[in-house]
Structures are given as C-alpha cells and as structure tokens.
Amino acid sequence: MSPQFLPRSVKDRVRLAPYELARQLAWTRREFLRCTAGIALGSSLLPSSLAARTGVAASKRKVIVITFGGGARDQETFAPEGQENIPHLMHELIPQSAFFTQVVNRGILGHYVATASLATGVYETINNFASLPPEHPTIFEYFRKDLKRPASDVWVVAPSNGFNRIGESSHRSYGPGLGARVILPKHLLTAATSGGTDYDHLLRDNYETPYYTPELGGNGFELQQLGTMLKLSVDDFKAHARTLSSPDELSVYIVRQLMRQLAPSLLWITMHDIDIAHAGTYSLYIEGIRRTDRLCADVWKTIQSEPEYAGKTTLFILPDFGRDSDDDAGGNGFQHHRTGDALSRTTWMMALGAGVREGVVFDRPMESTDLVPTLGSMLGFSAPLAQGKPIQELL
C-alpha cells in the first residue's frame, strides 16, 4: 500500500474522530450563517406543534424536496469565500428557513444510491450504476399506501436516466403500482426531438461515466403524456427547451408545469448539474453551484405564486452528500466524493415554508435517513421500515 495515498501534512486533522470533524463543520456553518444571515441558534427556542404553526391540516399539506446535487463543499457555498456562489440561498431562502448544519450521510456516496437512501430512510446498498429499484420502500410508497393517494399526487423529476427506477422499491409489501410517477426530462426531450442537435447541451448525462446511459425500464414517462398531463405540446416543449442552458433548468421547467397542471402533494426534484465537477473543471463546478442556487430560488418563488402551493407547502433543500476535502491526499479535492472523509459525508439541510420556524439554525447531528420519518410525521403517514428518526425541531 502506497502511503502517498494517505494524508500527511494534514494528518492531525485527519486523526480527529469523524464525529469531531462533523461537529467542527457544523459549528463553522452555524457561525457563517449567524454572521451573514443573522439567524438564531434554534436550540434556545421553545417548540410548538406543527399543526399550531401551520394552521393547515396534514391532509392539505404539500412537500417539495430538492436534492442540491451532486454534492457541493462548504468552501464553495457557505464559507465566506463561497457565499458569492449562493446569493439566493444566503439572502432569500436561509433567512426564511430552519437550517440544519450537521446532516451526516453514513451510506454509499454515489448519487443514485444516496438519493435512494434519502428517499427510503435506509442506507441502500444497490449498485449505483445499475438500473435497479431501491430495496426498501420509498417515501412515495409509504405516502400513497397509508394515505390512499393516487399516482398523480406523487412525482419525481430526475435529471439522469439512471434515476428511472427511484419511484418505487422492490419491497414485496410495497413496490409496483404504489410508487411515484418519474419524469426524466432529458428522456422526454430526446423523444420529442428525435435526436436533433439543437438540444445537446440539455442532454448531458452522467458526468462521472460519460457514454453510459442505462436502458430505460420501469416507470418511464411516455411522450404522449406531455399533452395529456402537462398540457404541453411537443412544439411548445421544444421551443422552450431551446431557451434553457442546462439539464437542471430543463428539470425545473418541467417542475413548474407539474405544479401548475397537477399540483402533486409530494414532489421530489433531483438536481445534478454540479456533478460536472467529476470532469475536473473547477469553473464548470462553480457555474453548476450558481445555477442550482438560482433554480432553488425559482422553485421557491413558484411555490409562493401558485395558489395550490402558497401557504401550505414546506420546501426541503439538501445535498445528497458533499465532496472530498482539499486536505485529503487520497482524493483530488472538489473533483470527486470517493474518500469517505468527513467533508464528503457531512452536509446540511434547510426547510422553509408552512410550519417551519424562520431564521433558526440547529447544529445537533442528524442523518440523511431522518428525512423520510420526518416527512411521515408532517404529512401523516408512517414509515415503519425507515431507519432514521423524525426531526423533532420540525414537528
């Protein structure tokens, strides 16, 4: 084993136990936020019940989850030198949000498997690059089965064809027929344009593994549904797509159509532009962060402007995980998320909207798997197979 793979000049930092590093990261995020966004430490505030805060019955509530993908580090986001890349989060969203500084992902740091873990509340171990469903029930199945909701009430919009099976699990008590409808906007655009070259910039897929595009199966979205469900003609879709600059912009365009036409109660959006970092180009990684920041604010504005969502929607934004530290000689800084170091595992989450206290920060440790049981408690369904715990600060 070559010792050059392992940290040297920063060995003292690496020697800290992982939980100590995570705590340091969380503390640093809190200080950044306290100084720049003027938010308070949440643990000093008294709790009150969610129902009392929202005034909205659980059956009427809506939730939108955005994964801020694929992974961004503090120094390009919440650290002082990175805040210029996230002006919308810093100045528009965080002041209105409850911010959790220490969300630890103890699972596999691959985008599909990590997103599947977020959606099941269990650290999934499926092959990150295979077209496989999660092994444990997803939030979409819990939601639909417990609350007897139709398929049209739960949607996933995902950028990569590799996410086509995320809507429902292979679990025998749930699975087929109980999951979310999944829209893969790039798949839709490919079908609509029949391989035309004007849209290539919107069809980038899987930066880590160029060329690889899994064959679609499972719950694919059919082209004719553009018209019947999204009320979009192929020509309108193509014309608008021509004005967009990235796959995530295409996703958010589809999200807006979904919100206007179907107003699903549970909507899950997976961003992915940032993952261009795997190509090793720092400027494109930064561009991806800035675009994702803007798109998150766009979704929030849409929530405020759509009557079906305004006042009764809670928005969650969280990365699936971080990226490798510059200090870990085993990695190559921002490019990948392969070392499993504390920086790549420790990330954040913000919640804003109905029932959420504004401008508070919580820095106790929590896990990515806590999201599903939390949403269960908020929306009134149970997630018996999820491993995480409900986040009491949001209930």
Partner 1 sequence: MFPSDLKPEQFNGYPPEARKLVSAYVGVLRGLPLSFLPSLLREAIEYDFKFPAERRALEKELANLDSLSAEQLRDWLQGFAQLHLSAQLEHSDWINAPAQFVEQLSSYLWTTHQLDAFRNAALAYADRLRQAVPPEKPPAPRVGITIIGQGVITNGVPLFRKLRPHGAYFRAVKPENGLQLLLNVVAERAKAHPVPYGHWYIDGGRAAPCDPALTCVSYHELEPVRAVLSGKIRSQIERPGMGPENLRTVLAQLRPVDLGLPTKDGDAVLDRFQVKMLTEGSGTQIFSTTFAQWTAREALRRAQPLTLLVRFAPRQRQKPMNEMLSAGHEVAELDPLGSLIDADMGAYYNWLNLQRLQGAEQSSFLVWFEDHSEAVAIGPSLPRGTESTTAVALDQLLGWAS
In this structure, the number of other CB atoms found within 10 A of the CB of residue 348 comes to 25
- Give least dist CB 240 to partner 1, A: 19
Q: Is residue 81 near partner 1 by the rule CB under 8 A?
A: yes
Interface region with partner 1, contact rule CB under 8 A, candidates 47-55, 102-110, 132-140, 231-239: 102-110
Binding residue for partner 1 (CB under 8 A) from 7, 137, 355, 359? 7
Maximal C-alpha separation, the chain: 60
205 binds partner 1 (CB under 8 A): yes
Q: Name which position in 95, 220, 340, 365 contacts partner 1 (CB under 8 A).
A: 340
User: At residue 116, what is the residue type?
Assistant: A
Q: Which of 129, 238, 290, 311 binds partner 1 (CB under 8 A)?
A: 129
- Considering only 333, 364, 380, 389, the residue that binds partner 1 (CB under 8 A) is 333
Query: Which CB atom, from 7 or from 388, has the smaller least distance to partner 1?
Result: 7
Q: Which of 29, 278, 323, 357 binds partner 1 (CB under 8 A)?
A: 278
Residues touching partner 1: how many (CB under 8 A)?
Answer: 53
Query: Taking CB under 8 A as the rule, does residue 3 contact partner 1?
Result: yes
Among 48, 59, 125, 173, binds partner 1 (CB under 8 A): 125
Residue closest to 163 by CA, chosen among 222, 124, 203, 216: 216
Q: Which residue in the set 11, 60, 240, 301 belongs to the binding site for partner 1 (CB under 8 A)?
A: 11
Give residues in contact with partner 1 (CB under 8 A): 1-9, 11, 14-15, 18, 81, 106-109, 123, 125, 129-130, 200-201, 203-212, 214, 276, 278-284, 286, 326, 329, 332-336, 339-340
